[in-house]
């Protein structure tokens, strides 16, 4: 019994000890929890007490710029609030802020509400067709074939067998593309898993099906563009340690506000990857050609017209890509939607390839407008997608060498029917892939446009006056450049909030070329803009439009003050503009038996005024409709004392509907309402 009692007593003591240990553990856990909660409360209290100080510190500004300070990036979402769920009344009643605010130039934050004109939901027609055959680059000059039979069977009848072949587009250096038929190699058998040698940049794939004895029918056709690597013949300097590449991606008719509203994924990517945004980038002329040529040559439209009309091949020596090529760079140029008369067409067309790689022959095989011109297709893929894929392959192929490439996209943004939001993910994917190729290590990437939308119903609003004049400019600076030349990077950061022009961008490209060539060079200034400069130097905040050769007609460094449509002086300015057009019409040459009708003022859409910087002159900006034709124009009228004169060209702001076809010159069509003469 004693033994039993002892065991029982030991059992009780063991259980008591176990309970005490559990109790101590609970006490420890409770104590730790209380300490954690107390710490969190203390942290929140400290944050609460210090938050106003931090907020004020962030919002404060300084005029002293230090090279070692990090760049501050402001999200575009903070500048352009999402207005998709707001009424237009609320949108236009917001307090006006400044897009650019310097002593020399103040541009108001005037933004067109593009959601009012475009449905931002995903388009039902966002793709050209289902691709059944895929070609992938597996090496420098090897292509692998992948065929999806389940998709290909949709193109066949009764699921019968089909046969495919491939051929290369031959592009001789001396070829007038528009006047000669495109030539190809023989079509060779193509099958799943085939690895073929890349012979030229462009591949055409065709598939056929037998429909009867010895009779076949084409059931499938597609196009692919790759970079066939060129072996350089010029020996590069090995003693130069600063070799930088340039890749330029352009979007036609895309203002910064339009980009911010329609391509939010792309904007987020640029912000998250610390791209520089130049908010004061300003156009210098009306349409694409002069603004793009200012970037590529540093010359204005007058000089280009005199030097290059009908002899663009000879003028190719003036292009910035030719300067890079002379320094041993591989060059490329590509542009889609060739039916547009905006860039290198008509009097400024190239008969020979201007660069080492030239995408124009690829699109000459046939682009097709679809869905009310909201999508442009080449084969089974959108033309814009072909363009970006070609640009990516170009950068990846030559990333260990020196390259300069410009790729200009028209198809997703040229007019109001275009849907840039359908290209948003495409651009995000492109920039992501470009990042992971390793090409950005020593490459400047410039993402830019020429101007905003110039035609359409939205141009009737005052905000569109600024939207047309303010394209966008982003720049990705290679890390190696930032490490070696921090002062130049600091200048770029400061110039994000300065008035900037395409001439400045040209000077910047010239300096990149000179730095890469290890030259101790003098400043290269555009001959038509002595006040312009490289963005690697700080631009003065006192810069005005007149300092950088921006005509008063295009300058937007002012607020527009509204006038009522019945204002006497405002109405007089509209009458003067119509009289000016009628005087122009008298000099227009037309086809035999045709003439231009005299125009009359139908009604005034809007009238605004502003003063010159010195308050010496008064300017009227008037939008009006004429009859016959009901065409809308916008004019700037200068009032000096008692005289009033039209300055700069008069802009058409209504969609061009094919009027004026009886004239010989395209520019005359915008003002001529054709009428057949009775006695002819």
Q: What is the DSSP annotation of 331-392?
A: EEEEE--TTS-SSS-GGG--SB-SSSEE-HHHHHT--EEETTTTEEEETTEEHHHHHHHHHH
For residues 298 and 506, the answer to whether their CB atoms sit within 8 Å is: yes
**Helix/strand/coil for 166:** strand
Gap between the Cα atoms of 244 and 442, Å rounded: 5
Q: Where are the alpha helices (DSSP H) in 175-274?
A: 256-262, 264-272
Gap between the Cα atoms of 75 and 378, Å rounded: 35
pLDDT for residue 39: 59
Gap between the Cα atoms of 518 and 6, Å rounded: 96
| Residues with Cβ within 8 Å of residue 621, at least 6 apart in sequence | 465, 560, 607, 608, 609, 610, 634, 635, 636, 637
Gap between the Cα atoms of 201 and 226, Å rounded: 5
| Residues with Cβ within 8 Å of residue 80, at least 6 apart in sequence | 111, 257, 260, 261
pLDDT for residue 210: 81
Gap between the Cα atoms of 548 and 546, Å rounded: 5
What is the per-residue pLDDT across 443-499, written as a single tens digit (0 to 9) for each? Answer: 999 999 999 999 888 888 999 999 999 999 999 999 999 999 999 999 999 999 999
| Angle formed by the axes of helices 424-437 and 383-397, nearest 10° | 10
| Residues with Cβ within 8 Å of residue 235, at least 6 apart in sequence | 328
pTM for the model stands at 0.84
Gap between the Cα atoms of 310 and 328, Å rounded: 28
Relative to beta strand 215-225, strand 202-212 is: antiparallel
Gap between the Cα atoms of 222 and 567, Å rounded: 60
| Residues with Cβ within 8 Å of residue 502, at least 6 apart in sequence | 283, 284, 291, 292, 294, 295
pLDDT for residue 38: 61
| Residues with Cβ within 8 Å of residue 365, at least 6 apart in sequence | 169, 182, 204, 223, 378
Q: In the chain, which residues have pLDDT < 50?
A: 1-12, 14, 16, 18, 20, 23, 43, 45-96, 120-121, 179, 233
**Helix/strand/coil for 216:** strand
pLDDT for residue 527: 80
What end-to-end distance do the CA atoms of the chain give, in Å?
142
pLDDT for residue 94: 37
Could you write out the DSSP letters of every residue in 107-142?
EE-----GGGTS--SPPTT--S----EEEEE-SSSE
């Amino acid at each position: 019994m004693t033994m039993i009692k002892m065991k029982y007593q030991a059992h009780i003591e063991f259980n008591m000890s176990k309970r005490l240990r559990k109790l101590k553990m609970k006490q420890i856990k409770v104590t730790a929890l209380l300490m954690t909660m107390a710490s969190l409360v203390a942290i929140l209290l400290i944050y609460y007490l210090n938050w106003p100080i931090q907020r004020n510190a962030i919002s404060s500004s300084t005029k002293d710029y230090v090279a070692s300070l990090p760049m501050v990036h402001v999200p575009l979402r903070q500048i352009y609030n999402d207005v998709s769920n707001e009424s237009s009344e609320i949108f236009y009643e917001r307090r006006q802020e400044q897009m650019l605010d310097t002593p020399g130039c103040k541009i108001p934050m005037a933004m067109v509400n593009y959601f009012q004109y475009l449905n931002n939901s995903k388009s039902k027609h966002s793709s050209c067709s289902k691709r059944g055959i895929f070609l992938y680059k597996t090496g420098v000059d090897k292509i692998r074939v992948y065929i999806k039979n389940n998709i290909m069977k949709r193109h066949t009848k009764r699921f019968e067998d089909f046969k495919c072949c491939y051929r290369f587009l031959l592009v001789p250096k001396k070829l007038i593309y528009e006047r000669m038929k495109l030539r190809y190699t023989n079509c060779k058998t193509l099958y799943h898993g085939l690895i073929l040698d890349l012979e030229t940049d462009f591949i055409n794939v065709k598939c056929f099906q037998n429909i009867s004895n010895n009779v076949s029918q084409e059931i499938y056709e597609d196009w692919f563009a790759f970079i066939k690597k060129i072996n350089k013949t010029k020996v590069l300097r090995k003693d130069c340690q600063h070799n930088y590449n340039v890749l330029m991606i352009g979007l036609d008719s895309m203002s910064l506000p339009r980009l911010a509203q329609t391509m939010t994924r792309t904007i987020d990517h640029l912000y998250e990857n610390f791209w520089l945004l130049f908010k004061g980038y300003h156009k210098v002329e009306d349409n694409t050609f002069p603004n793009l040529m200012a970037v590529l040559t540093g010359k204005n439209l007058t000089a280009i017209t005199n030097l290059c009309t009908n002899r663009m091949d000879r003028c190719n020596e003036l292009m910035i890509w030719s300067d890079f090529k002379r320094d041993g760079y591989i060059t490329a140029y590509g542009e889609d939607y060739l039916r547009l008369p905006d860039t290198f067409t008509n009097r400024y067309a190239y008969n020979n390839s201007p660069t080492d790689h030239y995408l124009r022959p690829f699109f000459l095989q046939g682009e097709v407008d679809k869905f009310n011109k909201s999508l442009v297709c080449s084969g089974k893929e959108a033309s814009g997608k072909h363009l970006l894929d070609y640009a990516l392959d170009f950068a990846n192929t030559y990333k260990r060498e020196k390259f300069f490439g410009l790729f200009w996209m028209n198809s997703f943004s040229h007019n109001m029917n275009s849907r840039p939001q359908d290209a948003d993910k495409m651009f995000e994917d492109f920039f992501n892939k470009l990042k992971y190729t390793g090409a950005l290590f020593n490459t400047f990437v410039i993402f830019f446009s020429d101007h905003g939308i110039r035609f359409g119903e939205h141009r009737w609003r005052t905000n569109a006056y600024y939207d047309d004049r303010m394209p966008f400019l982003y720049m990705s600076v290679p890390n190696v450049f930032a490490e070696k030349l921090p002062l130049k990077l600091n200048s770029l950061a400061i110039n994000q909030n300065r008035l900037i022009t395409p001439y400045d961008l040209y000077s910047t490209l010239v300096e990149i070329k000179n730095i890469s060539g290890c030259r101790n060079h003098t400043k290269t200034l555009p001959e038509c803009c002595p006040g312009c400069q490289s963005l690697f130097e700080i631009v003065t905040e006192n810069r005005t439009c007149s300092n950088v050769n921006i005509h008063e007609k295009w300058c937007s460094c002012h607020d527009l003050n509204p006038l009522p449509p019945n204002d006497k002086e405002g109405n007089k300015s509209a009458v003067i503009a119509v009289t000016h057009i009628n005087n122009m019409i008298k000099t227009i040459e037309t086809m035999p038996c045709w003439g231009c009708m005299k125009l009359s003022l139908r009604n005034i859409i809007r009238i605004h005024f502003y003063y010159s910087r010195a308050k010496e002159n008064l300017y009227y900006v008037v939008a009006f409709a004429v009859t016959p034709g009901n065409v809308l124009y916008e004019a700037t009228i200068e009032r000096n004392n008692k005289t009033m004169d039209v300055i700069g060209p008069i802009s058409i702001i209504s969609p061009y509907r094919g009027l004026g076809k009886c004239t010989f010159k395209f520019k005359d069509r915008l003002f001529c309402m054709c009428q057949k003469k009775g006695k002819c």
